[in-house]
Chains A and B, each alone.
Chain A
Amino acid sequence: MVDTTIGAAGVIQPAEVKDVELYHPKSWVTKYVFCQDAKVIAIQYAITALGIGLVALVLSWLIRLQLAFPSSFSAIGPTDYLQFITMHGMIMVIYLLTALFLGGFGNYLIPLMVGARDMVFPYVNMLSYWVYLLAVLVLVASFFMPGGPTGAGWTLYPPQAILSGTPGQDWGIILMLASLILFIIGFTMGGLNYVVTVLQARTRGMTMMRLPLTVWGIFMATVLALLAFPALFVGCVMMLFDRILGTSFFMPAIVEMGQHLKYGGGSPLLFQHLFWFFGHPEVYIVALPAFGIVSDLISTHARKNIFGYRMMVWAIIVIGALSFLVWAHHMYVSGMNPYFGFYFATTTLVIAIPTAIKVYNWVLTLWRGDIHLTVPMLFALSFIVTFVNGGLTGLFLGNPVVDVPLSDTMFVVAHFHMVMGMAPIFVIFGAIYHWYPKVTGRMMNEALGQFHFWVSFLGAYAIYFPMHYLGLLGVPRRYFEMGDMAFIPQSATTLNIFITMAALTVGFAQMVFLFNLIWSLFWGKPAGSNPWRATTLEWQTPETPPGHGNWGKELPVVYRWAYDYSVPGAKEDFVPQNQPPTPRAA
């Protein structure tokens, strides 16, 4: 049986270490700018990530306009197009999703949910944000340099990434690599904080097996990131050396446009291995926090304990471990030794098992629940749809023979947008609607939220579901235009126009979301401290929004797991984690 309450004795161990004193801000600057409070850092991360995310959103409109109306925009040339797709992908994966889940939600929720006053290294935590901001600024700078940003694709495969046939060879690629290096440095500072805080700063009674799944997801994702980002880091440094110093880590003998280059002996495949050794865990760095958060959204809004908590925790751990053994499934047709395919296919399909368990448990949590169709719950449902869809198409691409015809087609684009684009972003939206009342003290507008949800969910599905079939037909990705290829029927253009219309509509709905975000700050309904009647600790703070140090005088003490919803015989349909057990009548 799950460790739901404190046990027969009901004894809570005394604290082993003394409560630490925090640095208290003395001025406006140390309170809101160079701030060491994880909650403020979280908001800084979130605003920066959403801001740069808007750039990626606009780029996606330009990409879609070009694909739907290939000869209508004289301002978009083939090199511009490559720059758009590269920057769109890189921003979304690294600077938005990774930063928002870990830097944003991680910072806000970890200390509150484990019952800590703050992160364990507040100063390093503050530094983490400022280095991240610098990374974003370097990235943005590349738009304004001669030659523009790099157009090497977000995968940055050498040799083309640093050769003159690819746009952004002058400054774009250098700034891209520099920005990634900075991002990883900044992330490492934050990441160490998240891991150590979860391991060391949990309040009394908060055992690991009582952590809310949100914390488990973010914790495990951070562990993955700390192990995976170094591979990207060295890859970036080596490519930077190849570009600037003329080394040949990734560069064999090359004749470019008739000119013999001074490279020789390097291996382009080495970069691909380094990139995907990072790149595959990266998928789970984004997915695991989403898994965790959505579990809590579903449980809270269905008023029911998450089904199979221990299995959920183990699935997160197993998925995290397996994610390091599957990277070369991105490389079945890369020219690596094809016999690797047997191994990577097996590990890849095995990872479907713990992932499927998670899906079953979310759905079984709904079973015989008391489902409140609030906006966070709706987004959780849309996560289930898009994640199941994208996860299942992963079974196509993980199987090497099926991957051969589909690799580098629009099928892949549709697959990863569904599974690591839409699914995690819907969780982010759900999470913002869910925790906004805690962060600001006000509810977001429900009607606008419903509108935002329905347009985003149905629109996004209309974009990506049909897109798979273009890939099945054989339409390649990263193509400026399809041209007059004999095997592509005219109707494919019609489909592309439909997809673009859906994309522009979904884009418009995001403006409604941003409006809601700002409008509710001033005119939203006052929320109170626990509007969703949730059990986890962040809803039990003495103040809303929580003050510096989170808990007032006394740290909370935890007596039960995070999922005591609808407990038979309890007065309310939720029992907060810090509520002491009532002595049972014998």
Chain B
Amino acid sequence: MTTAIILVLVALGSVLFHILSPWWWTPIASNWGYIDHTINLTFWITGFVFTAIILFTAYCVFRFRHQPGRQAIYNPENKRLEWWLTIGTAVGVGALLAPGLFVWDQFVTVPKGASEVEVIAQQWQWNFRLPGEDGRLGASDTRNVSSSNPLGLNPNDPNGRDDVVIEGDALHLPLGKPVKLLLRSIDVVHSFYVPEFRAKMDLVPGVVTYVWFTPTRTGTFETLCTELCGAAHYNMRAKVVVEEASEYQAWVRKQKTFAQLSARTRQAKGTQ
């Protein structure tokens, strides 16, 4: 009896906790509202199944608990029931999978005209690079990395000379424009995650990965590293500022290009 009541309380308590929980996802700031919808759908389907199974178990525990004279029935199997349950489950699984795959297709397909921004991770700092006025990112390689060229740009690639280099500082993004992040790491695996954007992708040394989204809300958000990258993993953060196009342009103009940074280092070396 007590056991059955506690099982009911566990089921209903879980539902109640879900409804009353003050811990919930952050207000979204990107186009990935579909992801939230899919999570909600998943909560509905799984929540229903969970509650149904636990309540049924509780009922059995109460109704068929041992009492003097009770004998269990003997029924090794019931083909019909087993097939119906299998088909029902398959339908439920399909209902989760189909929208999931539909949204995943959008997630991996970058729209034409998305602007490119490179994210370069290192222990334990975020760096960024914008394509500059020519709209093209210059070639880069971890082997080119030096103190005067922390992102490893190829100094001989003309496309890279006007690239904007942001070292260990905030990234700004214009509101409402799709952006494709090209992700690169020069040491270990990191992961780029902004909770409000919902998007997340690992940065793997040796390859370039990508993720895309459209910022839909102005504000300052926090980028976290979500792949264990060593002792200061928990502290590897950066700000991402989403702002109106005009403010964004003003910010870009204040940033230094690769050519400017290289010239400055050369000068500094010359005066020594």
Contacts and interface: CB of A to CB of B under 8 A. Distances in A.
Interface of A: 1-2, 4, 78-79, 82, 151-153, 155, 157, 159-160, 163, 165-167, 252-258, 260, 264-269, 302-305, 307-311, 333-335, 338-339, 341-342, 345-346, 349-350, 352-353, 356-357, 359-361, 363-364, 366-373, 378, 381, 384-385, 388-389, 392-393, 395-396, 399-402, 404-405, 407-409, 458, 461, 465-466, 469-470, 472-474, 476-483, 485-487, 489, 491-492, 495, 563, 565-568, 573
The 8 closest A-B pairs by CB, nearest first: A252-B206, A165-B230, A474-B195, A335-B209, A304-B72, A160-B188, A399-B100, A392-B46
A153 B74 contact: no
B96 interface: yes
Nearest to B195: A474
B261 interface: no
B116 interface: no
Contact of A252 (B6, B196, B205): B205
B179 interface: no
Contacts of A385: 7, 10, 54, 57
B82 A311 contact: yes
A345 B104 contact: yes
Interface of B: 3, 6-7, 10, 14, 17, 21-26, 34-35, 38-39, 42, 45-46, 49-50, 53-54, 56-57, 60-61, 64-66, 70-78, 81-82, 85-86, 89-90, 93, 96-97, 100-101, 103-105, 107-108, 122-124, 141-143, 145, 147, 152, 183, 186-189, 191, 193, 195-196, 198-207, 209, 220-222, 224-235, 237
A247 to B, nearest CB: 15
Tell me which of A255, A334, A353, A388 has the highest count of chain B C-beta atoms within 10 A of its own C-beta.
A255
B50 A160 contact: no
12 contacts: A254-B205, A334-B204, A338-B108, A345-B101, A371-B64, A384-B54, A388-B49, A407-B226, A408-B226, A472-B39, A474-B193, A477-B226
Given A254-B187, A381-B57, A491-B22, A166 B230 contact: yes
A469 B24 contact: yes
Nearest to B103: A401
B232 to A, nearest CB: 7
A573 B77 CA distance: 19
A259 to B, nearest CB: 10
Contacts of A350: 93
Nearest to A350: B93
Given A160-B189, A405-B35, A333 B202 contact: yes
A536 B234 CA distance: 52
A290 B171 CA distance: 49
A356 B72 contact: no
A452 to B, nearest CB: 15
